[in-house]
Amino acid sequence: MPVRFLVVGLAFALATLATAPVMAAQKEKSEQEEKKKSPSDLERGLMIFQSVIKTHKASRRLSWKEEQKLGRAVAEQVFLRYGPRSRNEKINKYVTLVGKTVAVRVGKREADYRFAVIDNREPNAFAAPGGFVFITTGLLKNLFSEAQLAGVLAHEVAHVSKGHMVNAIQRARKLEGMAELSAMLMNKNRNEFSQAVGEITDILFTKGLDKEKEFESDRVGVEYANQSGYDGRGLYEFLVSLRKKEGRESSIFFSTHPPTYDRIKKLKRGALQNIKRGQKLEKRFMAMAR
Amino acid sequence: MRIFTLLFTFLVMVTTIAWAGGEVYADRDKMKIFHKPSVMSKTITVIKKGEVLTVIEKAGKFYRVRTRKGIAGYALKSHVTSKKPGSGGGNDDLDNLLGAVLGGGRSDEMNEESSSHSIRGLKDDGRVASGGSSLKSARQSVISMENSGVSASELEKFQREGKVGRYAR
């Protein structure tokens, strides 16, 4: 028995001795590799410099052409999710005429703004980069005058003219040190492009924009509509009627926008203080949109 | 053996196409379409056996579908079939599936990619709209939207009549 123990012990000792140099060599090798991996001060400096350049590039606003390209893909997602463009050309044309009238106030590229009515019961309106603006038949049913429609469309136009969506995803990229958005679009990297589209649809359908951006669009929307000759209280009136439905109706409109009460309060204290009298056009609205 | 392999490949292809999008049929009478991807959710509508449904996206055990009347909601995968009940399917089915999945007209690969990605990427949080359309019709809608403009004279007449825009006081 003791002899067996002695043999086993001897074998173990020999094995340890045999493997020790190998283990030591391996340790040394891994340490050397680790050294190789960790960057030198010069390399670190270069990396920081590259990151600064990247961040600077990412902050450049997209060109209008790039925005349109992105907007086209987002528009496809809106139709995919909410249903196709309404076949009622009369209502599409009417909404386009009102939309174009307020879009003139943007002062540039107003001719590129496109408007569409979607046959969907859920009250909602969207804007995609590049001037694509949508309104559902469900929302049209909640309106009672052309001034209200102008207010809603002007709010959406303001989202585009102020670059809210593009800025939101560019800012996210900047924070994460990700690739430049415009380079992404131009390099035709399909995965990255679809990622940008996904980020915008996420804002539209799930997360919503920062509430400050919504307040800004409310304010600018009131200005656009009022400067176009409409009663500046159109958007306000719509929000008041909407507030009554808040909590009772489930719509992503409520989850992607700040509380309607806050929006009403902001408008009352701000933009509505400086409005001029304008057209309401209830009769024309009822004849064209109902 | 070779015939079996071919048949199997064909069946796999048809199933894949049906899963990716396209049209399916209600496999039972009084089939419920739910508001959310849950059987506990509100029933939006009830459809008859054999009624065609357009698949918008997959959502776990459910498909997000749109009925012929344009109502969108969720149908249990186990309650639908890719073959029209009683008819045994046929080439028309395959054509429909292919048409809906492959879309038509545009060859913009980036948009193709972005669409499919975004469908997958959308969060299924139950706050979906009660509408929706196929990829083909969504693309057609974008084209219609871009092509639908108003002439300068139409806009001028509209603004003059309403005393808005250039004619605002």
* Greatest extent of chain A over all pairs of C-alpha atoms, in Å: 111
Q: Which residue has the higher pLDDT, B44 or A251?
A: B44
Q: Which residue from B109, B113, B122 is facing A201, i.e. has the nearest CB?
A: B122
Residue B156 has pLDDT above 90, yes or no: yes
Residue B94 has pLDDT above 60, yes or no: no
Q: Does B40 touch chain A (CB under 8 A)?
A: no
Question: Is A206 within 8 Å of B125 (Cβ atoms)?
Answer: yes
pLDDT of res. A125: 93
Task: Write the pLDDT tens digit of every residue in B55-77.
Answer: 888 888 888 888 877 788 888 88
Choice among A163-167, A203-207, A208-212, A254-258 with the minimum mean pLDDT: A254-258
Region of A154 (left: φ > 0; alpha: ψ -120 to 50; beta: rest) is: alpha
Size of interface A-B (CB pairs under 8 A): 173
pLDDT of res. B69: 75
Residue A166 has pLDDT above 80, yes or no: yes
Q: Which residue has the higher pLDDT, A40 or A110?
A: A110
Chain B residues in contact with A124 by the CB 8 A cut-off are: 129
In the structure, what pLDDT confidence band is assigned to residue B20 with cuts at 50, 70 and 90?
A: very low
> What chain A residue is nearest to B121 in terms of C-alpha separation?
A198
pLDDT of res. B139: 92
Cross-strand bridge partners of residue A116: A134
Residues 114-153 of B with CB under 8 A from A: 114-119, 121-123, 125, 127-135, 137-142, 144-146, 148-150
Q: Which residue has the higher pLDDT, A172 or B93?
A: A172
Task: Write the pLDDT tens digit of every residue in A263-274.
Answer: 999 999 999 998
Percent of chain B scoring above 90 in pLDDT = 17
In the structure, what pLDDT confidence band is assigned to residue A25 with cuts at 50, 70 and 90?
A: low
pLDDT of res. B5: 62
pLDDT of res. B80: 86
Q: What is the mean pLDDT of residues B34-60?
A: 83
Please give the mean pLDDT across all residues of chain A.
82
Chain B residues in contact with A118 by the CB 8 A cut-off are: 131
Q: Which residue from B110, B116, B129 is facing A120, i.e. has the nearest CB?
A: B129
Alpha helices in B38-131 (DSSP H): 91-102, 109-121
Six-digit token string for B133: 């359309």
Ordered by start, the domain boundaries in chain A are: 3-57, 64-289
Chain B residues in contact with A100 by the CB 8 A cut-off are: 150, 155
Q: Do B127 and A252 touch (CB under 8 A)?
A: yes
Residue A110 has pLDDT above 80, yes or no: yes
Residue A275 has pLDDT above 80, yes or no: yes
Instruction: Judge if pTM exceeds 0.80.
Output: no
- Which 3-state string (H, E, C) describes chain A? CHHHHHHHHHHHHHHHHHHHHHHHHHHHHHHHHHHHHCCCHHHHHHHHHHHHHHHHHHCCCCCHHHHHHHHHHHHHHHHHHHCCECCCHHHHHHHHHHHHHHHHHHCCCHHHCEEEEECCCCCCEEEECCCEEEEEHHHHCCCCCHHHHHHHHHHHHHHHHCCHHHHHHHHHHHHHCCCCHHHHHHCCCHHHHHHHHHHHHHHHHHHCCCHHHHHHHHHHHHHHHHHCCECCCHHHHHHHHHHCCECCECCHHHHCCCCHHHHHHHHHHCHHHHCCCCECCHHHHHHHHC
- Angstrom distance (rounded) from CA A241 to CA A248: 13
From A127, A130, A93, A97, select the one nearest A228 (Cα to Cα).
A97
Percent of chain A scoring above 90 in pLDDT = 48
Q: Which residue from A101, A120, A122 is facing B164, i.e. has the nearest CB?
A: A101
Six-digit token string for B36: 């959310």
Q: Which residue from B70, B116, B145 is facing A132, i.e. has the nearest CB?
A: B145
pLDDT of res. A229: 97
Chain A residues in contact with B133 by the CB 8 A cut-off are: 79-80, 82-84
The burial of B76, by beta-carbon neighbours within 10 Å (0-12 exposed, 13-18 middle, 19 or more buried), is given as middle
In the structure, what pLDDT confidence band is assigned to residue B159 with cuts at 50, 70 and 90?
A: very high
What DSSP state is assigned to residue A5? Answer: H
pLDDT of res. B55: 84
Q: Do B150 and A93 touch (CB under 8 A)?
A: yes
Q: Do A229 and B144 touch (CB under 8 A)?
A: no
CA distance B89 to chain A (A): 26
Q: Does A43 touch chain B (CB under 8 A)?
A: no
CA distance A229 to chain B (A): 5
Name the range with the highest mean pLDDT among A206-220, B15-29, B116-130: A206-220
Residues contacting residue B112 through CB under 8 Å, at least 6 positions apart: B103
- Angstrom distance (rounded) from CA A20 to CA A57: 53
Residue B127 has pLDDT above 50, yes or no: no
Residue found under tokens 């390099």: A187
Q: What is the mean pLDDT of residues A2-23?
A: 57
Q: Do B165 and A104 touch (CB under 8 A)?
A: yes
Q: Which residue has the higher pLDDT, A186 or B63?
A: B63
Chain A residues in contact with B167 by the CB 8 A cut-off are: 229
pLDDT of res. B17: 43
Q: Is A129 helix (H, G, I), strand (E, B) or coil?
A: coil
Mutation pick from B44, B110, B120, B156 vs chain A, by most beta carbons of A within 10 Å, is B110
Q: Does A76 touch chain B (CB under 8 A)?
A: yes
Q: Which residue has the higher pLDDT, B122 or B26?
A: B26
pLDDT of res. A158: 97
